[in-house]
Amino acid sequence: MPVERLRIESFRNIASAELHLGRVNVLAGPNGSGKTSVLEVVHVLSAGRSFRTSKPEPLIQREAERFHLHAVLSPGAQSPGPVSVGVMRDRQGGFEARIQGRDIHNTAELARILPVLLINAESFELLDGGPRNRRQFLDWGVFHVEQGFHAAWLEAQRALSQRNALLRHARIATAQFDVWDARLADAADRLDAFRRR
């Protein structure tokens, strides 16, 4: 769903701004004028985090306690009318996100409603890096087109974590190990099927 309008408050070097966007947009201006910050705003609205830092402090203006970001998305296949998305982060690490005024607690919902693919200098890792980078890239695409992918991915991560925790013990209860082995295999089969499709 394309972004129609952005409202930005206390984010990096932008005290307050409202942008009305078209189908194609060009950001131009001198260094330090906020061009990359606008792109970062869209990424935060999509992923709940910045592509430049994992900490909230650098994102919040020096004199502010929090930043507020809001977007209105154009109607599309997922919604017959405009969709409102908002994100707030404060200096204490507090995080709030809303879609259509409804609190959400899972950033996957943000990614579903506003899918964003960041292409930057690190994108060359797809070519130069190991298979993990390519798998993450593939999974990002599959997440957006396969309804059950996220649940299967979460199940695989959980089963792998439990299985690895058992391996760290000196004595492994075979029955318990077999349970997590079976759950991991099942989730991995589903993930493989999603990826192949």
Does residue 58 sit in the same domain as residue 95? yes
Number of domains in the chain: 2
Domain limit, last residue, from 118, 142, 157: 118
Asked whether residue 12 falls in the same domain as residue 104, the answer is yes
Beta-carbon count within 10 A of 31 CB:
6
**What integer is the mean pLDDT of 169-192?**
83
Do 101 and 167 belong to one domain? no
Same domain, 114 and 133: no
Q: Is the pLDDT of residue 20 over 80?
A: yes
* C-alpha atoms less than 13 angstroms from C-alpha of 63 in its C-beta half-sphere: 5
**Tokens (6 digits) for 166:** 């058992």
My answer on whether 66 and 161 are in the same domain is: no
Range of the domain at 63: 3-118
| Same-domain pairing of 74 and 129 | no
Provide the CATH number for the domain around residue 111. Answer: 3.40.50.300
Residues 173, 185: Cα–Cα separation, whole Å: 18
Strand 83-90 relative to strand 95-99, pairing: antiparallel
pLDDT in tens, 94-152: 999 999 999 998 888 898 888 888 877 777 777 888 888 888 888 888 887 888 888 89
What is the average per-residue pLDDT within 160-189? 83
